[in-house]
Structure 1
């Protein structure tokens, strides 16, 4: 009966793409994603200013702790969401992290008296866990609420709510940190998560009135599967292995720029409020660029030229940006390089890369992609930041030399991405897994 209703509704979809009974759920999901990403991007400058307070020499320990924590918690996360319905699991998780944020406030009020290295490492790792359990779970929860047809019609509008939230978060931080200080920003983020929790509960109520029974099996299949099975699939498939290498080489650019950004904050902004304002400005500019690229460039590139061209083009832009940074040699130019490279990575390259996973079957897609997006990503962070420290300490490499090495990594990524065209998954574009 539900399937018949869905088919009937599809034939009566208005030009807006939204059926009358869906408006309330669409608005709730839009606000939910807006609040989640706003809360996250309020916290990001807080994390960055902590890292800058102790300097980039502390990054290897922070990244190693994050990698080990990810290895432990990612399988736990998969087990939890497979065992408990997300409509129960998600609200409990949000309450847990709201309580965490409130508990962190006294520590940040005493930031000047606490061990800065310890606070930096704890909060750095906590943010990675927050990203896994709060931000990443959004689409899993939304997939439980809407049907496949609704997803095709509504998800792009919901995603735009997240884009606006990613811009609003840094704006809020810039406006408020000089007035309320750093610690109070955690309370603001907790309040935004409280609003997201209210949206979750309202969406749960809406979904009970509009059950998506025909998609129950799909929702279970998305979450199913073992974490380490994904690792085996990556090493067994040349296509997936190249995607994993692309992730590692992308770390070669992103982690270097992050390292330079941390040094900028440490050297030029000795005050925590000033550092927070600076990093909020960087996030704001980056997210505006991401939004512009997604609206103006990404759709055209993916539809007319395909994902490989999108990845190759982005990597070439990264390489040119890094060469320019090396030639300028001015430390603050790293902020501009970060905005350009990160904006291209999230505005064009990530959507292009994510689209490549449609070339493999559903089971492989979720298991292998999950392994690459967690373990490979975090391992890349550890290896790259350790290599940077080694090059600086043993070979006295300056920022220009590091930028040129990173540009080489970007060019290698462009070559590997272009070679993806030779894999069976892309050579047979009309295959069953398209």
Structure 2
């Protein structure tokens, strides 16, 4: 009888990991992340089709402008986030971008009459700023709402909301673009962000009723600041230099395929709605593969073997995919290679790379990771596109670009494997 009573009154948290007073905040955070990534992936194909309208020859200018703007705004972002509570800063920023989206709609309605290169460059750069201030700030905000102990139990569930949003966004774009056109899609994204703002205010209200116990280490952590200090840390540390080189080599593969993909959109999809549908299909396939890999592969590999085999294995798969593309050289093969490599990059490599930063102290983690994820990444974009432009002038074809990218992936696999010899990973399972 006692055993039966124990079963009858069992705490639901023992099955779900969620305590009774946390359900509202968990649901709100889940919906919030779903809405943010769904909005981002509604907008992403809109950006891609603008670049494709002009062709890959405009990408160097697009990336160069983005690199300069990133260098300027990243320290500004760090200054703002360090001086204003994120609970106040985040909703104001979201409302600012909602107004931006509404202001963009007339320009997209008149896309046929405007210079696609000018509109494309403005929106391309705007999306990068949007990613920095809206998407990337999500986890910083959520970290202010929940305690460290709660994060261990709840963040995996919240992350799943983002994965669903990353799948729902492209699906929504594919369904709506031929019905309402490109311009109104920006209104759809703005509505999602407005609903996300409502979630933010509700989470702030919940946090006032359930204040997080003071965590000095977390509250004093540097979030988004220390840009040039991060550069010094990266150049001074052999471990961090290798992580940065991995980022650059990964960028070589991604940017080459992005260029080839842009030319496909330019050549085969002259209509803006058709291009948007095409890029939404790629995003949808990438995000589904990413979710499957995270559920089936990444967790098991990281838990049993550590990040080194995960990184090296993903790069080997990339190399084999690119070698196949070099032999086939068909547009459909380019799209398939983009799906496989991006799905692996976000589904396996990014979680593994993020786990590498747990091997360094907290201040280094924030500063160095911020530098690598902004300056190194954007510099890689500019450098690779510049090299591609030169090689095109010498007549290099898809097969040549795929072969060079395969070499970059093989080099990345070697560097990833060599990480196990660093002191930071000396006691790792790998």
Aligned to 1:305: 305
1:330-375 per-residue CA deviation (whole Å, 9 max, x = no partner) reads 1221000000000000000110011010000000000000000000
1:224 CA drift (Å) = 7.0
Aligned to 2:419: 420
- 1:223, 1:49 → 2: CA distance? 33
Q: Alignment partner of 2:16: what SS?
A: coil
Could you say if the C-alpha distance between residues 205 and 411 of structure 1 is closer, same or farther in structure 2, counting changes exceeding 3 Å?
same
Q: Does 1:82 align with 2:86?
A: no
Could you say if the C-alpha distance between residues 38 and 224 of structure 1 is closer, same or farther in structure 2, counting changes exceeding 3 Å?
closer
Q: 5 Å matches for 1:116-155?
A: 116-155=116-155
1:221 CA drift (Å) = 1.1
**Partners of 1:251 and 1:381 within 8 A in 2:** yes
- 1:65, 1:309 → 2: CA distance? 36
**Partners of 1:225 and 1:363 within 8 A in 2:** no
1:226 CA drift (Å) = 1.4
- 1:76, 1:137 → 2: CA distance? 14
Size of the aligned set, in residue pairs, is 419
**Partners of 1:318 and 1:410 within 8 A in 2:** yes
Flag structure 1 segments of 5+ consecutive residues without an equivalent.
1-10
Flag structure 2 segments of 5+ consecutive residues without an equivalent.
1-10
Aligned to 1:111: 111
- 1:266, 1:115 → 2: CA distance? 15
**Partners of 2:177 and 2:185 within 8 A in 1:** yes
- 1:388, 1:76 → 2: CA distance? 31
1:66-97 per-residue CA deviation (whole Å, 9 max, x = no partner) reads 00000000000000010000000000000000
- 2:38, 2:353 → 1: CA distance? 25
Q: Alignment partner of 1:112: what SS?
A: coil
Aligned to 2:4: none
Could you say if the C-alpha distance between residues 300 and 104 of structure 1 is closer, same or farther in structure 2, counting changes exceeding 3 Å?
same
| TM-score where L is the length of structure 1 | 0.95
1:14 CA drift (Å) = 2.4
Q: Alignment partner of 1:332: what SS?
A: helix
Aligned to 1:407: 406
Q: Alignment partner of 1:62: what SS?
A: helix
- 1:64, 1:316 → 2: CA distance? 30
- 2:194, 2:73 → 1: CA distance? 24
| TM-score where L is the length of structure 2 | 0.96
- 2:225, 2:426 → 1: CA distance? 28
Aligned to 1:8: none
Q: Does 1:274 align with 2:281?
A: no
1:217 CA drift (Å) = 4.6
**Partners of 1:143 and 1:219 within 8 A in 2:** no
**Partners of 1:82 and 1:220 within 8 A in 2:** no
1:23 CA drift (Å) = 0.1
- 1:87, 1:312 → 2: CA distance? 39
- 1:16, 1:217 → 2: CA distance? 28
1:219 CA drift (Å) = 2.8
1:185-215 per-residue CA deviation (whole Å, 9 max, x = no partner) reads 0000000000100000000000011111312
Aligned to 2:192: 192
- 1:216, 1:56 → 2: CA distance? 48
- 1:224, 1:57 → 2: CA distance? 33
Could you say if the C-alpha distance between residues 161 and 264 of structure 1 is closer, same or farther in structure 2, counting changes exceeding 3 Å?
same
Cα RMSD for the two superposed structures: 1.2
- 1:169, 1:224 → 2: CA distance? 27
- 2:286, 2:313 → 1: CA distance? 18
